[in-house]
Structure 1
C-alpha cells in the first residue's frame, strides 16, 4: 500500500508469537531446530513424538504431550514428520475440531499429512485462523479448493530448500565428498556402514539383513516409544564384529518412524537423540544355530523380544517371539497373537480372516506348555483391512494381537 501512496495501517495488524504456544509434531532434526528458534522468540513449546523420550524433549525445551492435547492447546501447529500410512491425513476433520479458533497450521514436511478438503472447510467456516502450506497431496498443485481461500492461507510451491545458498551448498558438499573419497577419506553422507574391510563386510552382509529385519519386527511389536534395546549375538556370531550388526538393528527399529531418513550412518545418532539405551551382549555358548541374533525392546507399552537366525542357504528365519519357539520366514504382511492354548482358537481366527477375504499364506503356533500361553504367527498375502485387528481381539482366549509390515 505504501508503494501506492497509501498509509493504511489498520489493514496490517499482525499476531504476535511471543508467549504463544507452538505445537511441534515430530522432534527429529528439523523439528528440534524449529524448537530452538521458537524458544528464542519466547514461545511455549509442546511436542508430540512417540519415538522421543520425555528427557530428550526437555533437553530441547519442549513438553512432551499426547497428540490430542497438542491440538487443543496450541496456537500454532507445525508438522515435521514423514508421510506414512499412519500419518496420512493426520490433520483431518476430527483433529481440526479439537483446535482453537485462533490456531494456525504450518506444513513444510510432506503433502498428504493434512486432509486438504477438511482444511478448506475449516478455514472457510472460520473454525481455525489460518494455514501455511509448502507441500501438497498432489504436486504441482492442480485444481484445488484451497485456491479459493483468501488471506487465511499461504500457499508456496515446495520451496523448502529453494535459496541461493542452499543450491550452492549442495553442489559444494557433493564436490567435497567426491574429493574426500578420492583421497581415501570416509564419505560423510554414505548410506552404507563406513570403515569396514570389504572381506568383513561380505562376511557380515547376510546378518545385517537379519538384524534389520528383527529390529523392524521388534519395534512394531513393542509399539509406542522404545526406551532400550538389548542386542545379543549368539553362537558363532558372537565372535564377529558387533558394530555393523548393532547399527543394522537400530536402522530396522527406527524404520517405521523415520522411513527413508534413517540409514546405516545416522541410525546410532538418531537412536541416541531419541533417548534409546542400547545394550550389547554376547553368548557364544548358545548353539541352536551356527549364529543367531536376539533383540529385546523395552518401552512405554511393555517389552517384546525376537530371535532370528540364518539357514544354510542364507534364508532368514524367525526362531523365537517373546521366548516362544517358532520357525517362520519373515513375510511382508504378518499377524502375531498372544493367546491361551485351547481347542478351536486357531479355527476361529482362520474363519474370521476368511470372512473378510484375507488369504493366509502360512500359520504356526509356538508354545511352552500344553494349555498354557502360546504365540500364533500368520503370514498373509495383503495388508490386514482396517478394523479386523479389533475383531481378532474379541475372540475368546486372545490376549494381544499385532499387525506387522516388513
Structure 2
C-alpha cells in the first residue's frame, strides 16, 4: 500500500506533484490547518503530515495520529510542533533550514538601503503631497564599514552582497575560521572592535543566552556615533528600549527591524521614531523562498517514506530502526561530550579529532560523529541538529577527523574528543555504563568518573589544601544542592578539576562569588540535554 501524506497548509501545486511522482498518495486540504478538530478527526489515516505555520501539531493531535511517521515543516521554525511529544510517539520532525537563506539576506540588504536613504519616510512624505527634498539627506553605502554579527549561512550571503556594494566588511563570529573569512571576503574582528568601527551593523545569529541583548545599552554605547543598526534575525538580539534612547539622543542615526522582542509587535519603544524602518517579520516572505521550502519538504518526506532516508530531522539521528535501540545511549554520550567542549571553549575551534575505541568503533560512527559536532555547535546555536551541524561546521572551516581503534584500557569502548583552537588544546572522553547512562571518564587527561546530568558545574584549580572544601561550603551558602561530585588531579600540587552535578541551574551570583575568590582558573556552569 502506498504511503499517504496530508498537506494541511498551503503548499504549491509543484510540491503536491512531487509527492505523486514519488508514488505517494497525497491529500491537499489546506483548510484543515485552521480547524484543529477536523484535523484530529482526519489525521489517523496518514503516514505523513506536511505543514507550514498554521497547523499546530500538539500532543493532543498526536494522540489521534495513530499511523503518523513524519511531520515536515516547510520552513525553519517549528514552534508549532510539540517535538518532545512527537519523539515519544516515534514521529520524526523535519524542517527545511536552508530554503530561505537568500531571501532573508536580501531583506537585510534592502533594509540597509532603506535606512541609509530614509526611503519609507521620504515615500510617505511625497505621497502626502509634500516635496521635502532637503529633509531626507542620506548616506552612501560605498566604502562604509559593515559590521556583520554572525557570518553563518545567511550572514555569509550578506557579506557577499555587501562586498559587491564595495563596502568594507568586518565580521564577529566565534565559529568563523580564518579560511572561511578569507573565502567570503571579510576581516575577522572581536565584538568590541566591530562596535567601534562599523558604520552599519547587521545581525545574523540565533537567539541564545549568549546572544540575547548582544546589542545592549552598554554595547550600543560602544558603537560609532551615527551608526545604523539592522536586525532581520531574531527579536531579543537588540535591547529595543536602549536602542530607542540611542536613537533619541542621536548616537544611533537609524535602525531597521524586521523582528521584535514580542511578536506580533503592537507597541515597541522604537515605533514612531524618525528614521526607523519596521517590517512585520518578512525575512522569508518571497514567492521564491516559499516555493523552495515547499519543494524541499516534499522531496524529504518522499525519500523518508519510500526508503527510510532521513534529512534535516530535528529529533533523531540518521540511523536505521535496528541501530537506534543500541545507538541511543551512545548518541547521547557523543552529544554530551561535544556539548561539554562547546560550553567550555570560547575560541574558534579549528580541528576536532574523534576517537572511537572498542565497542564504539563497531557502531554507526557517522551518526556518532554528527552527534558530537551538533553538541559542540549547539552551545552557540540551539537550532543546529545532527543533519545540519556537519554542513555548517565544514562551511566554517572546522576540520573534523575520526579514528577507530581496538579496545584498550579498562572499558569495552569509549569515545574521546581532541580539539584544537588557535591557542588551546582540549580533550574529553566518555563511555556508556551497563545501566545505559553516559559517563565522563577523562577530562584534560585526568581520570574521573562523572555522571552526566542536566545541571553541572566544572571548575579547575591548582591542587592545594582547602579549595574543594571552600567550593562545597560556598555552594551550600548560596543554596546550591549537590547531587554528585567527582574530582581528579594531574599530580600532587598540579592541575585539579572538579565536576559537580547540581539539582538546579547554578545561579549567576554563585558563579560570580566563586570567581571572586581567585581560587579557581575556570568556573563553568554547564547544561546538558539528558
Counterpart of 1:41 (choices 158, 162, 165) is: 165
Is the 1:223–1:301 contact (alpha carbons within 8 Å) kept by the matching residues of 2?
A: no
- Give, in whole Å, the separation in 1 of the partners of 2:444 and 2:381: 25
Unaligned segments of structure 1, at least 5 residues: none
- Give, in whole Å, the separation in 1 of the partners of 2:467 and 2:228: 50
Specify the SS of the correspondent of 1:99: coil
| 2:111 aligned residue | none
- Give, in whole Å, the separation in 2 of the partners of 1:283 and 1:179: 38
**Deviation of 1:386 (Å):** 2.5
Is the 2:171–2:186 contact (alpha carbons within 8 Å) kept by the matching residues of 1?
A: yes
| CA separation of 1:325 and 1:185: change in aligned 2, threshold 3 A | closer
| 2:514 aligned residue | 392
| 1:229 aligned residue | 352
User: Is residue 66 of structure 1 aligned with residue 193 of structure 2?
Assistant: no
**Deviation of 1:287 (Å):** 4.1
Counterpart of 1:341 (choices 449, 457, 463) is: 463
| CA separation of 1:396 and 1:181: change in aligned 2, threshold 3 A | closer
**Deviation of 1:141 (Å):** 1.4
| 2:400 aligned residue | 278
Is the 2:210–2:380 contact (alpha carbons within 8 Å) kept by the matching residues of 1?
A: no
- Give, in whole Å, the separation in 1 of the partners of 2:457 and 2:331: 24
**Deviation of 1:301 (Å):** 4.8
Unaligned segments of structure 2, at least 5 residues: 1-124
Runs of 4 or more off by more than 6 Å in structure 1?
A: none
- 1:14-93 correspondence runs (5 A): 14-93=138-217
Superposed CA deviations along residues 297-342 of structure 1, whole A, max 9, x for unmatched, are 2214512211111111211111111111111211222111222333
**Deviation of 1:6 (Å):** 5.7
**Deviation of 1:18 (Å):** 0.9
| CA separation of 1:4 and 1:332: change in aligned 2, threshold 3 A | closer
Counterpart of 1:358 (choices 469, 480, 488) is: 480
Superposed CA deviations along residues 184-211 of structure 1, whole A, max 9, x for unmatched, are 38454344444x4432344323211110
**Deviation of 1:87 (Å):** 1.0
**Deviation of 1:220 (Å):** 1.6
| 1:161 aligned residue | 284
| 2:373 aligned residue | 250
**Deviation of 1:64 (Å):** 0.3
- 1:7-406 correspondence runs (5 A): 7-150=131-274, 152-184=275-307, 186=309, 188-191=311-314, 192-194=316-318, 196-260=319-383, 262-395=384-517, 397-406=519-528
**Deviation of 1:133 (Å):** 0.7
**Deviation of 1:11 (Å):** 3.4
**Deviation of 1:344 (Å):** 1.6
Alignment length, in residue pairs? 403
Output the TM-score relative to the length of structure 2: 0.72
**Deviation of 1:403 (Å):** 2.2
- Give, in whole Å, the separation in 2 of the partners of 1:338 and 1:7: 67
- Give, in whole Å, the separation in 2 of the partners of 1:307 and 1:138: 42
RMSD of equivalent CA atoms: 2.1
**Deviation of 1:170 (Å):** 2.9
Specify the SS of the correspondent of 1:81: coil
- Decide which moves more: 72-81 or 365-374: 365-374
Output the TM-score relative to the length of structure 1: 0.92
